[in-house]
């Protein structure tokens, strides 16, 4: 547990000093929303709202990929990745610290982009803000669980910016399906479908457990 807190604190403190990841993620996601405005002009309000959940989660995913690509870059530059591998504890706790930091950085970006997107598309989110935040948090946990593990794998490759999306996008399908369906249900009826929420919870739990177990071997490679 101490290792988890230490890694989490180190990542958040490093980001607070530079603010490069959060700013890059936020600006990139907002630019994606701006592109939607030019790519989908003149659509009726009802049709645009039907597309909104999928478009919103595309923006979230792109922002997450941008941040996850940098999750281990600093450790690699300073040879700190080898130091993490030598810590005499279960390396799963290192994974949890890194994943928690990634979630903590992604979630504020989701909130900002979601509010801007709702204003641009004129989504009626007034009565479902809290459930939407819950769905966003669940999606962030799943994305960052998979992304943290494969970020550690991709950071050692020559083309890590390309490798990470190729590795994790297929695995994100259950999370994105559950998140998009839950978001659509909240926007349409005010209630998230039970099946979508169960899919999100199960995917998050499976990816967290598997990532915790395999991270022991990821750092050895």
What is the tens place of the pLDDT at every residue in 175-201?
Answer: 999 999 999 988 888 888 889 999 999
Three-state SS string across the chain, please? CHHHHHHHHHHHHHHHHHCHHHHHHHHHHHHHHHHHHHHCCCCCHHHHHHHHHHHHHHHHHHHHHHHHCCCCHHHHHCCHHHHHHCCCCCCHHHHHHHHHHHHHHHHHHHHHHHHHHHHHHCCCCCCCHHHHHHHHHHHHHHHHHHHHHHHHHHCCCCCHHHHHHHHHCHHHHHHHHHHHHHHHHHHHHCCCCHHHHHHHHHHHHHHHHHHHHHHHHHCCC
Residue 89 pLDDT level (bands cut at 50, 70, 90): low
pLDDT at 80 > cutoff 70: no
State the Cα–Cα distance between residues 96 and 5, nearest whole angstrom.
9
pTM metric for this prediction: 0.88
pLDDT of residue 187: 86
Residue 162 pLDDT level (bands cut at 50, 70, 90): confident
How does pLDDT run across 127-141, given as a tens digit for each residue? 788 899 999 999 999
Domains: count for the chain: 1
159 Cβ contact list (under 8 Å, min separation 6): none
How does pLDDT run across 37-64, given as a tens digit for each residue? 777 766 666 777 788 889 899 999 999 9
Backbone angles phi, psi at 71, to 5 degrees: -60, -40
pLDDT of residue 194: 87
Average pLDDT, stretch 90-111? 87
pLDDT at 96 > cutoff 90: no
Range of the domain at 133: 2-218
Average pLDDT, stretch 107-129? 85
Average pLDDT taken over every residue of the chain: 83
How does pLDDT run across 1-27, given as a tens digit for each residue? 677 787 778 778 877 887 778 888 888
pLDDT of residue 163: 83
pLDDT at 81 > cutoff 80: no
Of 199, 181, 145, residue with least CA distance to 50: 181
């Amino acid at each position: 547990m101490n290792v988890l807190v230490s890694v989490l604190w180190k990542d958040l403190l490093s980001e607070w000093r530079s603010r490069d990841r959060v700013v890059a993620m936020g600006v990139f996601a907002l630019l994606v929303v701006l592109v939607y405005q030019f790519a989908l002009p003149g659509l009726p309000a009802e049709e645009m709202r039907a597309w909104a959940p999928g478009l919103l989660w595309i923006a979230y995913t792109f922002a997450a990929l941008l941040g996850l690509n940098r999750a281990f870059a600093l450790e690699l530059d300073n040879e700190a990745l080898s130091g993490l591998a030598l810590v005499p504890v279960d390396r799963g706790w290192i994974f949890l610290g890194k994943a928690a930091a990634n979630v903590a950085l992604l979630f504020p970006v989701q909130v900002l982009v979601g509010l801007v997107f709702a204003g641009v598309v004129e989504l009626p989110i007034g009565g479902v803000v809290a459930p939407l935040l819950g769905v966003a948090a669940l999606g962030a946990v799943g994305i960052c669980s998979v992304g943290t593990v494969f970020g550690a794998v991709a950071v050692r490759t020559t083309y890590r910016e390309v490798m990470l999306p190729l590795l994790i996008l297929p695995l994100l399908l259950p999370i994105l399906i559950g998140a998009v369906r839950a978001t659509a249900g909240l926007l349409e009826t005010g209630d998230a479908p039970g099946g979508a929420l169960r899919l999100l919870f199960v995917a998050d739990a499976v990816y967290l457990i598997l990532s915790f177990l395999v991270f022991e071997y990821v750092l050895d490679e």
